[in-house]
Structure 1
Amino acid sequence: MPKYNNPRKTWQYSTEFKVRAVKMSYQPDIKSSQVAEGLGIHPFMLSRWRKEYREGHLQGDGKRRVGLSKKRKVKSAKQITENAQLKKEIDRLKRENDLPKKVATVSGGSTSERFGFIHRYGKEIGVRNLCRWMQVSPSGYYAWRQRGTTDRALSDQQLLKQITKIFDDSHGRYGSPRVYESLRQSGYRIAKKRVERLMREAGLKARVTKVTRRMPGLKRFIAKGENRLLARDAATAPDQVWVADVTYIKLQGKWTYLATIMDQYSRRILGWSLSYSRTTELTTTALRYVIKKGRNPKNVIFHTDRGVEFTGSVFQSELVKYGMHHSVNRPGHCTDNAFMESFYHSLKGELIRQTYFKGIEELRSELSRYINKFYNTVRLHSGIGYMSPINYEQMAA
């Protein structure tokens, strides 16, 4: 096991914080769940604090506890809901609650990094409170501030501006690996860990979300078909192997279905189709779109899963018409189509999740913008040497 010189602490809420939270929860016309949400804590935790307060185990100021009698004097709803001071107190406690999360990112860093963190959040939270959290002296911080900005700090400031620009241009989709590669391709000669540190200190975190895949019913699978990719090496040029799949996207309580076709060699999305119905019409529309764009090579291996939207007679006729050879996953081996699984993971994490769409047309427009203006042309793919699919194809030409 590695030895950690500065192990991360388990942060705890102060007694003062708990007492104030409990007192707020006992105000008339304010629900405990609203207080918990405002402070960013779990309702069960607030419920436990309320119990400890009633039993006398939680008293932070020595004053008389809030009366719990049902006959206590009730304030008007207007006095509570419009009380600006109470709202301000909730905001302040919420900032204090968020402080351990921010401190944890630099608590194991150098003294200079911790001073820089205090300088950034001092006005918002308070210098003395931050010094206490970061285990440094206020006098040391003020002495550090009087020394002026070092050449290294100035360099970090300039570099951070470029990092922020790359991060914003990707709409928050780039983490430190892709930001680093973008900088390197722009001529910067820097270390990966420096980019990681600057992004961490600036709070620049890529869109990351857990993506789950809805599994179709087993009755939709057809047993026939073989995996032609097992008998050959990976594609060495465009238009040798195309892969396709269908995924589910929930839109205002209804399922929509996205069929996508990708060139396995370059990872380029060749065509796609979106519909409320998962049928062969969905997949044939995507294939015909690719052909219409002028991409119609012969003897392409077209790999999919075993869903009926790909194995149905209508779609099979289209493959024969364009001289393509169908290949399917082995039963129970969804990783045989890992390229498409990876794309859908990126799509949902970078665009779909945490985004509200007014309707299917807006979803269609955003998908077009993501695929044509970002994924195919700009996004750096680790599997092809941190190049965009179109650039990778042009290099192979």
Structure 2
Amino acid sequence: MPSTKGRKTKQYSEQFKHDAVLLTFRDNTTVKGVAEGLDIHPFMLSRWRKEYLMGNIVSDNKRPSKPEVPLKLSDNEHVAQLQKRVQQLEMENDLPKKVATIRGSRKSEKFEFIAHNCRTFPVVLMCKILNVSTSGFYTWRNRPVSQYRKREEWLASEITRLFRLSKERYGSPRIYAQLRKCGVSVSKKRVARIMRQLGLKARCARVYMRKAKLHEFYARVSNIKKDLPKPTAVNQQWAGDVTFIKVKGQWLYLAAIIDLYSRRIIGWSLAKRKTMQLSLASLAMAVRKRNIRDEVLFHTDRGAEYSAYYVQDWLKRHNIKSSMNRPGYCTDNAEMESFFHTLKAELIKSTHFENERDLRTKVASYIQHFYNRQRLHSALDYVSPINYETKAQGA
């Protein structure tokens, strides 16, 4: 060990300390041996090693020439930076919620999700969260289109065509039934998934339930329909009701009659007032079309337009037996409620009417040309009412 007695303290540069420490990390070298070779004390070299490991000794080449002085930002720039950071955090927070919508665990589904959202979220971030490689995603994207994907695209275009053809009235069950009629082999769940992905949603309307008025006057007609089995042929059981439609600030009233066997609308009438003449007009149309011979059960709600003495007398003269809802049970006439709900969802809700005449024309077209002849009815195994009656007559 070199003697340090009487020697003045020597100042060493940072570069010298750095190089000396690096020598001690070589193979087959010791701190003592390096210190003797450099004529320095081993304790000093050991202290330099500790400072090096703590990051206090660096090479002159790695030391910055000038200390970095943070730029002073204006208030607007600072706010802009904060807004940018908030947007980035919101994006990172929303991504896991989006990822949670992936139902399967296949890589192809994950890659499809990344491709669909690549304009919203960074590809690298999505790959990291989904635990897939970025190179794998780009390789998948550059592959030729698979047969499954071609089939999926064809189904999407066909479903969209049928959806537009129904004037956006068909949901997935009826679209599925229509595809099967065309000879297309596909599952219900696949049709529902494709429609959900395409954002195709059938028109719908809220159901409003109104409580029937309880008066002793209405109790004289009971609910006969609830104790009878379902009809097995046409002209056994009918049902009727009245609904209201607003056109240019004016309320109009629509009365309709349905055959409960085939769910066919056999009579309807439109007027500005809700009177017994309105209900009688729809009944007269039904009687003219059906030419009934045996007694028919006619079920309605407990409205005055059906329970009036004149209307009840008219029904008896035409061999029609009256039946009415139980007080407080509007679901007793569910078939009519369902028809009016469908009418408002598929026609009234999204159609502009100029006046009463325009409404009358479009309602007539909907009932006669679409609802009775074309619309697939779920209660009839997805057959239109007229086709259902035709099959029943030929059976």
Distance in 2 separating the partners of 1:256 and 1:320: 28
Structure 1 position 325, deviation (Å)? 1.0
Partner of 2:306: 310
Partner of 1:165: 161
1:63 aligns with 2:58: no
Partner of 1:394: 390
1:141 aligns with 2:157: no
Distance in 1 separating the partners of 2:298 and 2:178: 33
Shift in alpha-carbon separation, 1:137–1:252, aligned structure 2, 3 A: farther
Partner of 2:224: 228
1:29-83, Cα deviation, whole Å (9 max, x unpaired): xxxxxxxxxxxxxxxxxxxxxxxxxxxxxx9973289xxxxxxxxxxxxxxxxxx
1:129-159, Cα deviation, whole Å (9 max, x unpaired): 9947984665443221111100111111122
How high is the TM-score relative to the length of structure 2? 0.69
Distance in 1 separating the partners of 2:80 and 2:198: 43
1:335 aligns with 2:331: yes
Distance in 1 separating the partners of 2:292 and 2:284: 10
Distance in 1 separating the partners of 2:142 and 2:215: 72
Distance in 1 separating the partners of 2:167 and 2:153: 21
Structure 1 position 126, deviation (Å)? 7.1
How high is the TM-score relative to the length of structure 1? 0.69
* Residue type at the aligned position of 1:63: V
1:357 aligns with 2:344: no
Partner of 1:40: none
1:252-285, Cα deviation, whole Å (9 max, x unpaired): 3332211110000111111111112111010001
Partner of 2:111: 115
Shift in alpha-carbon separation, 1:62–1:340, aligned structure 2, 3 A: same
Deviates more, 1:108-117 or 1:279-288: 108-117
Q: Is the 8 A contact 1:175 1:205 kept in 2?
A: yes
1:309-366, Cα deviation, whole Å (9 max, x unpaired): 0111232232122111111112222221111111112222222224332222222222
* Residue type at the aligned position of 2:271: S
Q: Identity percentage over the alignment?
A: 42
Paired residues, what number? 309
> Which ranges of structure 1 fall in alignment gaps of 5 or more residues?
1-58, 66-95
Q: CA RMSD in A?
A: 3.4
Distance in 1 separating the partners of 2:355 and 2:217: 30
Larger Rg over CA atoms: 2
* Residue type at the aligned position of 2:320: M
* Residue type at the aligned position of 1:181: A
Partner of 2:174: 178
Shift in alpha-carbon separation, 1:277–1:375, aligned structure 2, 3 A: same
| 4+ long deviations beyond 6 Å | none
Distance in 2 separating the partners of 1:137 and 1:271: 65
Shift in alpha-carbon separation, 1:64–1:157, aligned structure 2, 3 A: closer
Shift in alpha-carbon separation, 1:134–1:373, aligned structure 2, 3 A: farther
